[in-house]
Amino acid sequence: MGLPALGLLLAAGLLHTQASPSARSFQLDYKHNCFLKDGAPFRYISGSIHYARVPRPAWRDRLLKMYMSGLSAVQVYVPWNYHETLPGVYDFTGNRDVEAFLDLTAELGLLVILRPGPYICAEWEMGGLPAWLLWKPDIILRTSSPAYLAAVDSWLHVLLPKIKPRLYHQGGNIISVQVENEYGSYYACDHGYLRHLLGSFRALLGSEVLLFTTDSARAQELHCGTLQGLYATVDFGPGSNVTEAFGAQRRVEPKGPLVNSEYYTGWLDYWGEAHASTSAAWVARGLEDMLQLGASVNMQVVSWQRAQPPGQWASPLAFISLGSGQQGLYMFHGGTNFAYWSGADYKGQYKPVTTSYDYDAPLSEAGDPTEKLFAIRMVISKFQPLPAGPMPPATPKYAYGWVALRKYADLLDVLDVLCPSGPIQSQFPLTFEALKQIHGFVVYHTQLPWDVPDPATLGAPPHSICDRGYVMLQKEYQGTLERDGQTTLHVTGRAGDSLDILMENMGRISFGANTSDFKGLLGNLSLNSRPLSNWLIYPLAIDTAVQQGWPHTALPKSSGGRVGPAFYTGTFETPGIAWDTFVKFPGWSKGLLWINGFNLGRYWSCRGPQQTLFVPGSVLHAGHPNNITVLELEGAPPTPLLLFLDRPLYNRTLGCSTTATE
């Protein structure tokens, strides 16, 4: 699982041969167990960056800082669902212009290790697979399922021709390409699928490019995740026996460089868990120990699938790998899960990932050099010259202060705007996928079929709330139903009273066998165990409306003081500048924030750990009003205010209530 982190990799070449001046190649040397670039020994240090998590105006700043840190390569995922937003509908413009990003890496003198999937994990929504794949009822993801392969082939025939001219042997800077990602951890173990991918990559990229796979060192995963013709690498971290791990790689690759694809240096943030941080000195010490032994290492945030909490990690000296290596995963710069792109993990329960993708990386979420970066840079300088010149400084930040908002309307009062095509009638609830709703929200509306004078149990079958349901009776908020949490509420009412459930997709699972993660109401709600029926279902297009200027271009709706899902609006002006900032939500519960139509992602102040959302300066208008739209899902403070700061805040807070009366 490509879990985020530092993503440093060292590829040490030990062969003493000379390259032909006209040769341009990147190859494996099986005789000397190393890599060759243009026929000569080659060593590189790389770090990961995800262009989809960094605003395009910041690409150059982040890449330059990586270059000035001493890195010679970057590792880049290509999220399929970020580009093929609907079947046959492709977007390579603006922030999705992967060709422009790759060209910028070349301009700055950085090599690229490309990871185009089709599955990438990366804590990205559904691991990079498009949710519209689930519209096909017979599809089996990441297998030889004809429906799946047809979609994959169509995508690869669009993407890979853009990649081929940028391969190293073609004059570009892409030195290697990964096929799939940790496929051995997937239940299917379908070698026919891997053979199909190998054939497609070779047909579209040619025979010279180095193709590789990545899997854990477990025998079963290496059996299922490797294939002749794809160079097999392993990943392991603290707590692993290095000799055994590389022995596992040697059982599938008797010759060639030993590669540890993921050496873990941090921890992942989930909503409702403590913010993770790791010691810069610890990371630097482990890096230097491994460099001194010519090790290959990919420094990586630790995965809960494979490791222990930071306090239980062993000394980095225990995890030194010998030999040369290739590949780089996570993270030198993490960035932000804007809009709805954060994924989720599953370990006994659903664990959605925070909006921030900072991961305590050397470059912070805002792209600022950290103590960890300078410690790593100092270590690198002991083994190779650093680029001439100073490290670019942190981007300027500004605390714009308090901004007052006003309530615009309750969500249920603007369904005509948010669902202009009108509701879909159905006897029983339909999933997001059946409704062809990719992200966001859906309202399920029905009426109480009989009088309920005494509290009755409104409940859902197990595993049918995906992922949070905000319940309103007669437009009054009753509480929240939650996946792997509270799935019942007690209600009273009269026959004919309106019952509405606003269902929120918190991000599809990105790792493991659960990537077919359907959203919405997966089963019918019942009242005292009697099923409810006759639903009107509203798929909401909130982002479309906000991007078109709503609600700032509309007349305010009259609304009372009800709690529950509602929109709030406001404006603020900057003092002639448009600098990065962080917005805090004092007294708010959970929701989303848009500024000037740009979706900055989810906040969840009462759940934590993340307390602020990063606002890139490129989103703001200098010297002009900036329009703020907030969708608060549970309850705003009596005086709705936002606070713009010049730094992020984290805190472990688990005090959210799931009922309206607690």
Q: Which residue in 180, 262, 433, 482 is the catalytic one?
A: 262
**Selection from 234, 238, 237 nearest residue 247 by Cα:** 234
Beta partners for residue 90, in sequence order: 84
- Are 432 and 519 in contact by the 8 Å Cβ rule? The answer is yes
Q: What crossing angle do the helices spanning 191-205 and 146-163 adopt, rounded to 10°?
A: 30
DSSP 5-70: S--BEEE---------TT---EEEETTTTEEEETTEE--EEEEEB-GGGS-GGGHHHHHHHHHHTT
Q: How far is residue 502's CA from residue 472's CA, in Å, rounded to a whole number?
A: 8
Q: What's the DSSP call for residue 276?
A: P
262 is known as an active-site residue: yes
In whole angstroms, give the CA distance from residue 573 to residue 592.
21
Q: Encoding tokens for residue 141?
A: 């993801």
Can you list the positions of beta strands (E) in 250-368? 263-266, 299-301, 344-346, 350-352
SS3 345: strand
Give, rounded to a whole angstrom, the gap between the first and last alpha carbons of the chain: 39
The 3-state DSSP class for residue 542 equals helix
**Residue closest to 379 by CA, chosen among 301, 300, 282:** 282
**Half-sphere exposure (Cβ direction) of 91: Cα atoms closer than 13 Å:** 13
Question: How many C-alpha atoms does 255 have within 13 Å on its Cβ side?
Answer: 5
Task: Report the half-sphere exposure of 422 (CA within 13 A, side-chain side).
Answer: 1
- Cβ partners under 8 Å of residue 52, min gap 6: 77, 79, 82, 95, 96, 124, 341
Burial zone of 653 (CB within 10 Å; 0-12 exposed, 13-18 middle, 19+ buried) = middle
Distance CA 291, CA 68 (A): 19
**C-alpha distances in Å from residue 120, one per residue of 55, 178, 448, 516:** 20, 10, 44, 15
| Three-state DSSP state, 107 | helix
Torsion of CA 189, 118, 65, 175, to 10 degrees: 80
Q: Determine the Cα–Cα distance for residues 540 and 633; give it in Å rounded to an integer.
A: 14
- Among residues 182, 221, 253, 482, the one annotated as catalytic is 182
User: Which whole-number Å values give the CA distances from 416 to 421, 545, 561, in the listed order?
Assistant: 8, 11, 21
> How far, in Å, CA of 189 to CA of 195, rounded?
12
| Rg of the chain (C-alpha set) | 25
Query: Rounded distance, CA 261 to CA 94, Å?
Result: 31
The DSSP 8-state label assigned to residue 318 in this structure reads G
DSSP assignment of 382-403 = TTSPPPSSPPPPPPPB---EEE
107 given a catalytic annotation: no
Alpha carbons 75 and 49: distance in angstroms, whole number = 6
Handedness of CA 367, 373, 374, 379 (dihedral sign): negative
Which residues are marked as active site?
182, 262
